């Protein structure tokens, strides 16, 4: 039997656990693109990476105290403009129509009395990590699926007729120990348990006993893993509900792996198990900002973001061989480049390759977002990497590790390369 545990309004609940005055009132946690990393002055940026699973990304932060005024409000030509979006809204705020990803300025028009709290990702990561450890002490098999979601398998440990009572006990313990409310879905199938959590919210426990009856009228968009493109594909065959999917096994199986996977998950016959420790398969960072025309400034920002990628690569000691760069411009235009480099990773190689990729992009005016990603982790062995540059690459990688020690001690921006200035 599977349990899916989802922390209710996690970021908002986390803030309430440390500030009781936020309880029972309309409030939300807001965030905006962290542009502090681009400062030319030193900001002592550090990284939080306690939750190192594949679905929990690291967060870069500084110790600078955030307030509504210094974080969300910009002064532009003598006028104040509220920036940022809603990351998580309390249920009290949701009753006014406030939603995730809504601009904060718009949310405050809907709910003027709402308290907006600047995001505190170190708090959320630390709390998520502690909750994960707490669950491991109470349940044999636990998978952290995201910063606020966990799968648990109690098969062979709890009888089926004991699971609901156990879930309620666990729910009460989490509330007492962390002052954090959770909702729990239960099913014999992993992904149906995740779907059931939506029926449990807020702060409830919901068990699916009859999968066929439960899925019959649920819209396909509600099921985890069915993206927009697949929804459109299903719609072309007049498939609107999960019950419709069950009745079209032959069609879904004809679509090979993606169709078979969706069909099996929806009908609860996937037989998927808990992945106690999923390995990260890529490392990425992106930043959104006001439009920039200066090509040298865009390059500078790419190099700064590259330093942050380098830090993470060195921290988990992997060797990415595929690099990816994407630049978004105003009015929906985007350009991207990727390159596979079968060499030993180092800061020098990575930045040189990104610079080369940037030069190959036909530059446009009005860049508003940069995204960088590395993937395809390779074993650090001569037989899998280029021999021509191997000796030089070993030297450069060792130098990167020495710089890493300084950055771990004094912050990520203690040492910068010339192309960042």
Kindly report, residue by residue over 343-365, the tens digit of the pLDDT.
Answer: 999 999 999 999 999 999 877 88
Residue 33: name the closest of 219, 220, 290, 230 by CA: 290
C-alpha–C-alpha distance, residues 192 and 310, integer Å: 38
As given in the structure block, the two tokens for residue 165 are 């009572």
Torsion sign over Cα 292, 297, 299, 305:
negative
As given in the structure block, the two tokens for residue 66 are 């955030």
User: Minimum mean pLDDT among 46-55, 217-226, 230-239: which range?
Assistant: 46-55
H/E run at residue 121 = helix 121-138
Residue 143: name the closest of 202, 205, 191 by CA: 191
The sheet carrying 2-7 orders its strands as 141-146, 149-153, 2-7, 182-187, 205-207
Counting residues of the chain whose pLDDT is more than 90, the rounded percentage is 72
Counting residues of the chain whose pLDDT is more than 70, the rounded percentage is 95
24 dihedral zone (left: phi>0; alpha: psi -120 to 50; beta): left
C-alpha–C-alpha distance, residues 157 and 310, integer Å: 43
Task: Quickly state the pLDDT bin for 409 (edges 50, 70, 90).
Answer: confident
C-alpha–C-alpha distance, residues 47 and 61, integer Å: 6
The residue among 61 and 249 whose pLDDT is bigger is 249
Is the pLDDT at 55 greater than 60? The verdict is no
Task: Quickly state the pLDDT bin for 49 (edges 50, 70, 90).
Answer: low
C-alpha–C-alpha distance, residues 59 and 47, integer Å: 6
C-alpha–C-alpha distance, residues 372 and 301, integer Å: 11
Task: Quickly state the pLDDT bin for 393 (edges 50, 70, 90).
Answer: confident
Average pLDDT, the chain: 91
Domains of the chain and CATH, by start: 211-280 (1.10.150), 282-420 (3.30.1490.100)
Is the pLDDT at 52 greater than 60? The verdict is no
* pLDDT digits 0-9 by tens, 7-46: 999 999 999 999 999 999 999 999 987 777 888 777 777 7
Please report the pLDDT score of residue 54 as a whole number: 45
Non-local (6+) Cβ contacts of 205 within 8 A are 164, 167, 168, 171, 183, 184, 186
Query: What's the predicted TM-score (pTM) here?
Result: 0.82
* pLDDT digits 0-9 by tens, 137-182: 999 999 999 899 999 999 999 999 999 999 999 999 999 999 999 9
Is the pLDDT at 277 greater than 80? The verdict is no
What's the distance, Cα to Cα, between the start and end of the chain in Å?
55
C-alpha–C-alpha distance, residues 260 and 267, integer Å: 11
Residue 91: name the closest of 172, 168, 177, 23 by CA: 23
Non-local (6+) Cβ contacts of 139 within 8 A are 3, 152, 153, 154, 157, 170
H/E run at residue 211 = helix 211-215
C-alpha–C-alpha distance, residues 129 and 152, integer Å: 15
Is the pLDDT at 390 greater than 60? The verdict is yes
Non-local (6+) Cβ contacts of 294 within 8 A are none
CA–CA distances in Å: residue 363 to residues 231, 336, 360: 35, 11, 9
Q: What distance lies between CA 90 and its chain's CA centroid?
A: 20
Contact status, residue 379 vs residue 319, Cβ threshold 8 Å: yes
C-alpha–C-alpha distance, residues 93 and 10, integer Å: 14
Cis peptide before 202 (omega within 30 of 0): yes
The residue among 158 and 53 whose pLDDT is bigger is 158
Q: What φ, ψ does residue 5 adopt, rounded to 5°?
A: -110, 120
Is the pLDDT at 416 greater than 90? The verdict is no
Please report the pLDDT score of residue 32 as a whole number: 87
* pLDDT digits 0-9 by tens, 279-300: 778 889 999 998 999 999 999 9
CA–CA distances in Å: residue 227 to residues 231, 287, 291: 6, 24, 30
* Interval 176-194 mean pLDDT: 97
Please report the pLDDT score of residue 103 as a whole number: 96
């Amino acid at each position: 039997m599977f349990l899916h545990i989802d922390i209710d309004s996690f970021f908002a609940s986390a803030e309430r656990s440390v500030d009781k005055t936020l309880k029972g009132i309309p409030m939300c946690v807001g965030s905006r693109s962290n542009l502090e990393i681009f400062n030319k002055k030193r900001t002592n940026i550090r990284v939080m990476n306690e939750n190192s699973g594949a679905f929990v990304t690291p967060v870069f932060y500084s110790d600078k105290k955030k307030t509504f005024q210094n974080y969300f409000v910009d002064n532009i030509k003598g006028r104040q403009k509220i920036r940022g979006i809603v990351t998580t809204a309390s249920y009290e705020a949701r009753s006014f129509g406030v939603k995730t990803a809504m601009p904060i300025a718009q949310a405050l028009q809907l709910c003027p009395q709402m308290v907006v709290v600047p995001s505190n990702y170190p708090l959320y990561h630390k709390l998520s990590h502690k909750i994960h450890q707490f669950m491991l002490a109470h349940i044999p098999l636990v998978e952290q699926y995201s910063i606020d979601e966990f799968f648990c398998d109690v098969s062979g440990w709890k009888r089926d007729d004991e699971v609901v009572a156990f879930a309620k006990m666990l729910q009460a313990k989490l509330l007492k120990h962390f002052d954090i409310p959770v909702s729990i879905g239960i099913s014999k199938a992993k992904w149906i348990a995740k779907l059931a959590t939506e029926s449990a919210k807020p702060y409830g426990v919901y068990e699916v006993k009859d999968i066929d009856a439960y899925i019959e009228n649920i819209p396909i968009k509600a099921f985890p893993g069915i993206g927009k493109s697949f929804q459109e594909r299903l719609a072309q065959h007049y498939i609107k509900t999960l019950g419709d999917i069950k009745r079209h096994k032959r069609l879904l199986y004809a679509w090979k792996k993606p169709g078979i996977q969706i069909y099996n998950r929806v009908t609860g016959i996937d037989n998927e198990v808990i992945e106690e420790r999923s390995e990260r398969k890529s490392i990425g960072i992106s930043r959104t900002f006001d439009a920039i025309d200066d090509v040298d400034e865009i390059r500078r920002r790419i190099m700064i973001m590259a330093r942050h990628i380098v830090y993470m690569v060195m921290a988990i000691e992997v060797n990415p061989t595929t690099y990816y760069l994407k630049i978004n411009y105003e009015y929906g235009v985007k350009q991207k480049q990727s390159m596979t480099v079968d060499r030993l990773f180092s800061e020098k190689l990575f930045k040189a390759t990104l610079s080369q990729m940037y030069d190959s992009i036909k530059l446009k005016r009005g860049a508003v977002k940069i995204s960088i990603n590395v993937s395809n982790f390779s074993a650090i062995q001569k037989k899998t990497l280029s021999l021509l540059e191997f000796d030089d690459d070993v030297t450069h990688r060792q130098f990167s590790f020495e710089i890493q020690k300084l950055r771990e001690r004094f912050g990520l921006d203690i040492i910068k390369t010339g192309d960042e200035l």
